[in-house]
Amino acid sequence: MLSAERAGSSGTDRAGQRQENMKKIHVNTSSEYDILIGSGAMRELPAVLKNAVNIRTVAVISDSNVFPIYGEKCLKYIEEAGMKALSFVFPAGEGSKCMKTYEEILEFLCENRLTRSDALVALGGGVTGDLTGFVAATYLRGIRFIQIPTTLLAAVDSSVGGKTAIDLKAGKNQVGCFYQPIAVLCDPDTLKTLPESEFKCGMAEVIKYGMYGNAPFFSELLDRDAKEFVDDVIGTCVSMKRDIVTRDEFDRGERMLLNFGHTFGHAAEKCSGFKLLHGEGVAMGMAVMTRAARRFGYCDDMTVELLEKILDKYGLPKEMPYTVGELTEAALSDKKMMGSEINLVVPEKIGKCVIEKVPASVISDWLEAGGVKC
């Protein structure tokens, strides 16, 4: 809990004022936590750490792009809480979301004798969050961690809901578990240093929220520039994600809607040797899936036109640079395949998708129907 315990105590007036300007979203999953969204959210780190009793050492896990910008500030806040601050920095990029980095971080934590009552901070994008979350879930059978997302994608999606993972050669996120953070501190000001290409990737996930469950939000994204109201964009997506993970924390039903565009997107990422950015894959995956949905009678021309229009507006790709054969092979190794069946998230209209369990043998038909070259 962030603010309830703090309100009214004499030394925390400024913190209280800061928090008044922020949006707080409470997540009520197997373990509960707050997400604080707003300028200066990282400044709440000392309070979060102090509230989480018994922490003596905090290790900040971050990548080689993010740590030089925000690392020192984060370490300073940990020290301000009276705790020992350590850092582990890995090379930026999806390639680091792997067994090797995972093992290196675990060894680092052992060498520095972090105990079960200590904590980690994931400072960065989805790669850092997924990797750190998996380390936190498994080191000494679980230590606490805090998410500080610094990409749009991490702010709207990966920092919330407790999916942690690393990749294998066989595919994305093949090893992982559900493990919730104790808090998420999301400061949209960090997006000012984010490269434009990465902002665009985050927009793919933002558009996904409009497509699967929020037509008015989709229209607003089409009519306005998301950058003009980015705090609200993050707040809307996080509220939607909170609602879905509260009802289906372990991804057995409704939560699969959040995978709209991801089955073919992950396949494209795999085909590219993970050179394609996650958001680019998701954008292509959404476009292919929506065109296929039209072909199979799930949605109309307008749905396809509007999706393609919004992808164009935010500079996202609509066409797959891989063949039906390549993508089919990659998609079938995806963990969403259940035996000989695969779950597809199919749009019926803007703001509504359904989950269809289909035989794996028809994947190539869907890709072809979505305009992928043979």
For ligand GLY, the binding residue among 133, 161, 213, 351 (CB under 6 A) is 161
Output the smallest distance, CB 85 to ligand GLY, in A: 29
∠283-266-143 over CA atoms, to 5°?
110
**Per CB under 6 A, does 172 bind ligand GLY?**
no
Question: What span, in angstroms and rounded, lies between the C-alpha atoms of 156 and 182?
Answer: 17
- Residues pairing with 62 in the sheet: 89, 123
Contact partner, 255, from ligand NAD, ligand GLY, none, Cβ < 5-8 Å per class: ligand GLY
CB contact set of 224 (below 8 Å; sequence gap of 6+): none
**Per CB under 6 A, does 281 bind ligand GLY?**
no
In terms of Cα–Cα distance, which of 289, 323, 326 is closest to 308?
A: 289
Question: What span, in angstroms and rounded, lies between the C-alpha atoms of 374 and 272?
Answer: 17
**Per CB under 6 A, does 187 bind ligand NAD?**
no
For ligand GLY, the binding residue among 43, 97, 200, 255 (CB under 6 A) is 255
Nearer to ligand GLY, 45 or 345 (CB): 345
For ligand GLY, the binding residue among 34, 63, 157, 187 (CB under 6 A) is 157
Nearer to ligand GLY, 132 or 364 (CB): 132
Q: Is 92 helix (H, G, I), strand (E, B) or coil?
A: coil
Cβ(30)–Cβ(180) below 8 Å: yes
Q: Which string of x and - marks every residue 265-294 that binds ligand NAD (by CB under 6 A)? A: -------------x----------------
Stretch that binds ligand NAD, among 36-44, 190-198, 295-303, 320-328 (CB under 6 A): 190-198
Output the smallest distance, CB 258 to ligand GLY, in A: 4
**What is the DSSP-derived secondary structure letter of residue 210?**
H
Question: What span, in angstroms and rounded, lies between the C-alpha atoms of 289 and 355?
Answer: 12
∠171-261-284 over CA atoms, to 5°?
90
Nearer to ligand GLY, 6 or 255 (CB): 255
For ligand NAD, the binding residue among 74, 88, 118, 124 (CB under 6 A) is 124
**Per CB under 6 A, does 132 bind ligand NAD?**
no
Cβ(274)–Cβ(189) below 8 Å: no
Q: Which string of x and - marks every residue 306-325 that binds ligand NAD (by CB under 6 A)? A: --------------------
Contacts 24+ apart (CB under 8 A), 168-171: 168/98, 168/99, 170/333, 171/266, 171/270, 171/330, 171/333, 171/334, 171/335
Cβ(146)–Cβ(122) below 8 Å: yes
Stretch that binds ligand NAD, among 98-106, 134-142, 153-161, 308-316 (CB under 6 A): 153-161
In the complex, the residues that contact ligand NAD under the rule CB under 6 A are 63, 65-66, 69, 92-94, 97, 124-128, 130, 150-151, 153-154, 157-158, 161, 163, 172-173, 190, 193-194, 198, 201, 278
In the complex, the residues that contact ligand GLY under the rule CB under 6 A are 157, 161, 163, 251, 255, 258-259
